[in-house]
Amino acid sequence: MKRLTVALFLAAFALSAVPRSAPAQTADSLIAKYIQASGGMARMQALQTLRRSGKFTGGGGFEAVVVQENKRPNSVREEFSIQGMTGINAYDGKNGWKIEPWQGKRDPEALGEEEMHGILDDADFDGPLVNYQTKGNKVEYQGVEQIEGSDAYKLKVTRPNGDVSFYYLDTEYYVPIRIDTQRMIRGAPQEFETSLGDYKQVNGVYLPFSSESGPKGSSSTDRGKITYDKIEANVLLDDQRFVRPGMRP
């Protein structure tokens, strides 16, 4: 049944796909199509929390259990577990913190500059394209580019902190297939790229269940891959989960 749903979705989009000779795209029209393709704004906004659970695969066969919990408006908690130990990066909308227990220290500490840039991206519940104006993001459409073998619409997103992401939307289905990010850290650019796939519906919204990330230009073996087994929507997530232990929400 699920397969049929996906197939119907593909068929519907294949037939309604805008030909390449269509009038010029704009950032707003592409974002609108992306939202529509994902399930529509109403379904997106109906998601209040998300818990993504799955596996991290690194180089040489390294695997870890990962969980990412998001709660509106912009809280996130990311767990990374091996050998009964769990590392945490989290953000409660105001403060970012972490626990890195790997060498025998389990105290929560503040996230560093690089980590804060990253977790702010992850805390953005719908991603930077949806309601980008209210988030202070600027989005520019930069044309069609080939990326990983496919044509993609390239959207440049500039966040209020100056970080830039390039979102590549598949020209047929309008969902992001790749995100390239440039963060300015202590005045120097750090560049990352993420490939997305395995989109499946969660409460009527298509979300990517797999991603592959690494520094720009890194080979596939050097990238971290995350595959989610399940993404649960609207699970109860207490605000306290996102707050640095010892602090109040």
Partner 1 sequence: MNVLLLFLLAQQPAPAVKVDSETVSGLGARNIGSAAMSGRIAALDAVHEGARLTIYVGAASGGVWKSTNGGTTFKPVFDKQPVQSIGAVTIDPKNPKVIWVGSGESWMRNSVSIGDGIYRSDDGGENWTNLGLKNSEHIVKILVDPTETNTVYVCVPGKLWSDSDERGVYKTTDGGKTWTKILKGGNVSTGCSMLAMDHAHPQTLYAGMWDFRRRGWTFRSGGDSATAPSASGVFKSTDGGATWAELTGSGLPPKPWGRVAVAVAPSKPEVVYAFIEAVPPLNALYRSNDAGKTWQMLDRSQNMIWRPFYFANLIVDPRDPERVYKVDGGLIVSTDGGKSFSGIGGGAHGDFHDVWVDPNDTDHLITGDDGGLWFSYDAGNKWVKNENLPVSQFYHVSVDMERPYNVYGGLQDNSSWVGPSEFPGGITNHQWENMYGGDGFWMFADPTDPDYLYAEAQGGAVGRVNRRTHESRNIQPLPRYQEKKLRFNWNTPIHISATQKGTVYIGAQVLFRSKDFGQTWERISPDLTTNDPQKQKQEQSGGITVDNSAAEMHTTIYAIAESPRDGQVIWAGTDDGNLQVTRDGGKTWTNVVANIAGLPKNAWVSSVEPGHFGTGTIYATFDLHTFGDMRPYAYKSSDFGATWVPLVAPDSPVRGYAHVIKEDPVNGNLLYLGTELGLWVSVDGGKQWAHYKGGDLPAVAVRDLAIQPRDHDLVIATHGRGIWIVDDITPLRALTPEVLASPVAFLAGRPTAQRLQSGGGWANGDAMFVGANPPNDAVITYYQRRRHIFGDMKLEVYDANGKLLGTMPTSKRRGLNRVTWSMRLAGPKVPPAASAAFGAAFGPRVLPGTYTIKMTKDTATYTTQLVLVPDPRATHTQAERQAALDLALKMQGTLGDMTFAVERMNGVRQALDERAGKLPASDAVAKRLRAASAAVDVLRKKIVATKEGGMITGEERLRENLTDLYSSIVFYDGGPTQTQIERADAIARELVDVQREFDAWTTRELAGLNAALRSKKLEPIAVITRQQWEAAGQ
For partner 1, the binding residues (CB under 8 A) are 2-3, 6-12, 14-15, 55, 57, 59-64, 82-85, 101-106, 142, 146, 148-150, 170, 173, 175, 177, 187-189, 195, 197-200, 206, 209-210, 212, 217, 219-221, 225-227
**Cβ closest to partner 1, residue 167 vs residue 173:** 173
Token pair in block for residue 166: 């390039």
Q: How far is the CB of 93 from partner 1 (least distance, A)?
A: 28
Q: How many CB atoms lie within 10 A of CB 51?
A: 19
- Cβ at position 143, least distance to partner 1 in Å: 10
* Residue of 50, 54, 44, 88 whose CA lies nearest to 69: 50
Both structure tokens of 179: 């995100």
The distance of closest approach from Cβ of residue 239 to partner 1 in the complex, given in angstroms and rounded to an integer, is 26
Determine contact, residues 208/169, Cβ cutoff 8 Å: no
Name the residue nearer to partner 1 (CB basis): 75 or 194.
Answer: 194
At 144, the amino acid letter reads V
Q: How far is the CB of 75 from partner 1 (least distance, A)?
A: 27
Q: Which is nearer to partner 1, 97 or 209 (by Cβ)? A: 209
What is the H or E stretch that residue 29 is in? Answer: helix 27-38
CA Rg value for the chain: 18
3-state secondary structure of 20: coil
Both tokens of residue 18? 């805008």
The 10 Å Cβ neighbour count of residue 80 is 17
Exposure on the CB side of residue 235, measured as CA atoms within 13 A: 14
> Nearer to partner 1 by C-beta: 83 or 133?
83
Task: Decide whether 149 or 246 has the Cβ nearer to partner 1.
Answer: 149
- Between 189 and 249, name the residue whose CB sits nearer to partner 1: 189
Distance in angstroms (rounded) separating the CA atoms of residues 150 and 157: 20
Residue among 9, 34, 67 nearest 169 (CA): 34
Nearer to partner 1, 73 or 217 (CB): 217
**Smallest distance from partner 1 to CB 203, Å:** 16
The least distance separating partner 1 from the CB of residue 213, rounded to whole angstroms, comes to: 11
